[in-house]
Amino acid sequence: MACRSGCKTKDHSSWAECARDANVKVAATTTSRNRDGFDQTRRDLKAYKEARSAGIQPEGTTMDKINAAKTATKAMGRPYNANTDPPASLIQTKKAAKFVANGGD
């Protein structure tokens, strides 16, 4: 038997011919775990790009790292730089930023 199990006429010469006549479509799901992860990564990288364009150098590309760098930037009054500044998680207040600015004195 060449036809699909759901074929009403059962007179096709091949399974492909039967599928074409039935107008079978293949659709991908957009709610997969991979898609969610891809969307989160895209949002993270967009936020990272925005931070970099503002002169901020976060410790990483995750939203937690970016938000910590933004908070440190606000506290210090200048763009945070993960390459030269202490970890952003330690510079969350103006008092901590003043300590960093004074070289730890």
**Lowest mean per-residue pLDDT among 5-14, 41-50, 81-90, 93-102:** 93-102
Contact criterion met (CB below 8 Å) for 3 and 10:
yes
Of 88, 41, 99, 93, the C-alpha closest to 65 is: 88
- Ranges of each domain in the chain: 30-101
Instruction: Note if the pTM is more than 0.85.
Output: no
DSSP letters, 23-42, are: T------S--HHHHHHHHHH
Label residue 22 by pLDDT band (50, 70, 90).
confident
The overall average pLDDT reported for the chain is 87
| Cα-based distances in Å from 29 to 39, 42, 94 | 14, 19, 48
Which of the pair, 34 or 9, is modelled with greater confidence? 9
